[in-house]
Amino acid sequence: MDILIGDVLKSIRKCSGITQAKFAKEIHVSQSYISKLEKNETSPNIEVLDLYANFFEIEPELILKFRNLKDHNSLSQKIRIVLFRKLMDNANNEHFEGKDERNTI
């Protein structure tokens, strides 16, 4: 089965552990719009892709590249890896920034 953009958007959101309602509220769109996107009933425009990318702190191009994966299991696995790496990068940056602040007078 082909991976459509709505499948990617849904997997990103679900792998991040956020509900449709909370996500919709955070990016100032309706929950029904998120639902339609994730069911592939409507296609996102570039602004919506940017909203997803900015919220989840990933590159917009990566969202589009996820459609090239072989199956939905590969999709979920790859998204989890990307989100985990982002989480680790953020944690490392906070750790090093904290060290810098403690060492300055």
Q: Please state, as a whole number, how many other Cβ atoms lie within 10 Å of the Cβ of residue 56.
A: 20
Q: How many CA atoms lie within 13 A of 95 on its CB side?
A: 6
Model pLDDT, residue 87:
77
Model pLDDT, residue 75:
84
pTM of the predicted structure, to 2 decimals: 0.76
Model pLDDT, residue 2:
79
- Provide the residue ranges of all domains of the chain, joining segments of one domain with +: 5-103
| CATH 1.10.275.10 is held by the domain 5-103 | no
Model pLDDT, residue 105:
41
Helical H runs in 1-105?
A: 5-15, 20-27, 31-38, 46-56, 60-65, 72-103
Q: Please state, as a whole number, how many other Cβ atoms lie within 10 Å of the Cβ of residue 13.
A: 22
Model pLDDT, residue 67:
87
Which stretches in the chain have pLDDT values below 50? 100-105
Model pLDDT, residue 1:
61
Model pLDDT, residue 104:
43
